[in-house]
Chains A and B, each alone.
Chain A
Amino acid sequence: MANKVTAAKEFIKGLWDQNPVFKQVLGMCPVLAVTVSAENGIAMALATTFVLVFSSFVVSIIKNWIPSQVRIAAYILIIATFVTIVDLVMKAQFPALSKALGPFIPLIIVNCLILGRQEAFASKNSVGRAVLDALGMGTGFLIALFLLGATRELFGTGMILGFQIMPEVYEPWLIMILPAGAFLTLGLMMGFFNSYSEKKKAEERNTIVEKYRQAKRQAETKPLEAN
């Protein structure tokens, strides 16, 4: 069944249709906690993507040898290995960033996005597809975290990625870099995007219904003509 989906679609679905943040609402803890700035959002998303891709890779290789009773424990062990790598590399190379993200790097281990993809996808698909899926989901996560981080940074400090965007007279809204701002921004964004896709879906449905009605009308008029 999975082979009907083209490889490109495995990647693309994570960007929008199944976006981990806006559509699947997974991994909310880092999404809300670290997106005070665009930079933090990008760093968090890249770290998560790294772990997601490599865990999916390993899980899909050894999927046939993992007894299903202990599969969750096995996944966690694999994920924890890569999280440890990320954590140590960040501490050595980017100490400031590592400090800013705090405990949320080690907490990637229990990010339900990663465990969810192992359970739902990597453990049932080939290595290539698992990696593509992980890359797509990671990129979708990156898009969402960047959007959130940039919006909050823009309103909360007047800057994006450290560049002054707002004019000097702009008074920063402190609430946007507080936890309340995270909930507000995420809620409004999710509502906006979902109302947009709902509208699109409704339009599609209407065109299908219209086509069906036309076909029915034609079918009804034909026998009359025959008489």
Chain B
Amino acid sequence: MTTITANPSYKLEFASSPHVHSRWSTKRAMWMVVIALVPCMISAVLFYGFYQLLIMAVSVLFAVLTEAAVKYFRKREITIGDGSAVITGLLLALIVPPNFSLVFTALGAVVAIGLGKEIFGGLGFNIFNPALVGRAFLQAAFPVQITTWTVPNYAVEGVTSATPLAAFKFDKVGTEVSNMFFGNIGGSLGETSAIAVLIGGLFLVFAGVINYRVPLAMILGMVIFGGLFWLIDGTTFPDPIFQLTAGGFLFGTFFMATDWVSSPVTPKGMWIFGLGISLVLVMIRLFGGLPEGVMYAILFMNGFVPLINRYTRPTIFGEAK
């Protein structure tokens, strides 16, 4: 009688079709995002000084360390090489105010990775954008420090440290569009310069890292919903151009809402997601207690993503409607 013994060195891998080969990998995409963030990093240093580089370094370091520590204690493969923790750390650093405490930054990075990502099981399982979870935690933990804005380096006379949105909401003071376009205004590290964000964002869109639908839907949504209120009453409500360039809108549009994991996968879903963020954002900015709400708007819509995916699932070929 012959015996068949399985040779353990032969491993047969099964996967269902389609079998797609691609030069794309998570790692490559993540490093593309880092490249896209370089203009924002430059604008941060340019307008607020070299201390901001320290914030970025601390944030990235603690994000990576947290990920490594969690993976180590859970006895999982340590995945810091894929660059996702670096991105989260960098994104978090770019949405805190200039000259922010390094201790708080580190805490924010630990919360972002620990509570925002790893607690759900790591990359690909998180419901909410990790960097925004870290920022939301910091906002609730240290409300005073996180809204203390430094005056930018090239401030002309009359420029206050208040962000344009806060100045408009509480004092009805407008800000020159050119200042907002280049970033010579009060605000978080990476979000003040519209042009720097646009360069990085468009690079990501044309490089194919992010889909154009979410940013386009958000911008369209802002023009529609923001413009609607402006047409109703132009004195109490800001115009859409101001709304688009102010605060973290553009940064959130290109770098936060387009997160692969926490945004919808279907084309129709992406439109719903983007328009939804803008609608919630306009409500927060115009009628809420806070001057800015990009973070909450994106986190809020993140919560709807599983539902959006489910309801916009394309019909299978041949399936009766």
| Chain A residues packing against B (C-beta within 8 Å) | 171, 173-176, 178, 180-181, 184, 191
Among A174, A180, A181, which residue has its beta carbon within 8 angstroms of that of B143?
A174
With contacts A171-B104, A174-B142, A175-B140 known, what are 17 further pairs, Cβ within 8 A? A171-B101, A171-B103, A171-B142, A171-B145, A173-B141, A173-B142, A174-B140, A174-B141, A174-B143, A175-B137, A175-B141, A176-B141, A178-B140, A180-B140, A181-B140, A184-B115, A191-B119
Complex CA gap A184/B136 in Å reads 13
Per-position binary interface string of chain B over residues 99-110, scored 1 when its CB falls under 8 Å from any chain A CB and 0 otherwise: 001011000000
> What is the minimal beta-carbon distance from A25 to any residue of chain B, in angstroms?
19
Residues of A within 8 A of B142 (CB): 171, 173-174
* Closest B residue by C-beta to A170: B103
* Closest A residue by C-beta to B145: A171
> What is the minimal beta-carbon distance from A151 to any residue of chain B, in angstroms?
14
The main secondary structure of chain A at its interface with chain B is helix
What are 20 residue pairs bridging A and B, where the CB atoms are less than 8 Å apart in the complex?
Answer: A171-B101, A171-B103, A171-B104, A171-B142, A171-B145, A173-B141, A173-B142, A174-B140, A174-B141, A174-B142, A174-B143, A175-B137, A175-B140, A175-B141, A176-B141, A178-B140, A180-B140, A181-B140, A184-B115, A191-B119
Residue in A175, A176, A184, A191 with the greatest tally of chain B CB atoms within 10 Å: A175
Complex CA gap A191/B141 in Å reads 22
Residues of B within 8 A of A171 (CB): 101, 103-104, 142, 145
How many residues of chain B are within 8 Å of chain A by beta carbon?
11
* Closest B residue by C-beta to A171: B142
Residues of B within 8 A of A180 (CB): 140
> What is the minimal beta-carbon distance from B107 to any residue of chain A, in angstroms?
8
Residues of A within 8 A of B115 (CB): 184
Complex CA gap A178/B101 in Å reads 22
> What is the minimal beta-carbon distance from B294 to any residue of chain A, in angstroms?
19
Q: 5 closest Cβ contacts across the A-B interface? A: A175-B140, A173-B141, A175-B141, A174-B141, A180-B140
> What is the minimal beta-carbon distance from A171 to any residue of chain B, in angstroms?
7
Per-position binary interface string of chain B over residues 131-174, scored 1 when its CB falls under 8 Å from any chain A CB and 0 otherwise: 00000010011110100000000000000000000000000000
Residues of A within 8 A of B143 (CB): 174
Complex CA gap A180/B141 in Å reads 10
* Closest B residue by C-beta to A176: B141
Complex CA gap A175/B140 in Å reads 5
* Closest B residue by C-beta to A195: B74
Complex CA gap A175/B104 in Å reads 13
* Closest B residue by C-beta to A180: B140
Residues of A within 8 A of B141 (CB): 173-176
Complex CA gap A191/B104 in Å reads 25
* Closest A residue by C-beta to B137: A175
Complex CA gap A26/B140 in Å reads 27
Complex CA gap A181/B145 in Å reads 18
Complex CA gap A176/B145 in Å reads 16
Residues of B within 8 A of A191 (CB): 119
Complex CA gap A35/B145 in Å reads 25
* Closest B residue by C-beta to A178: B140
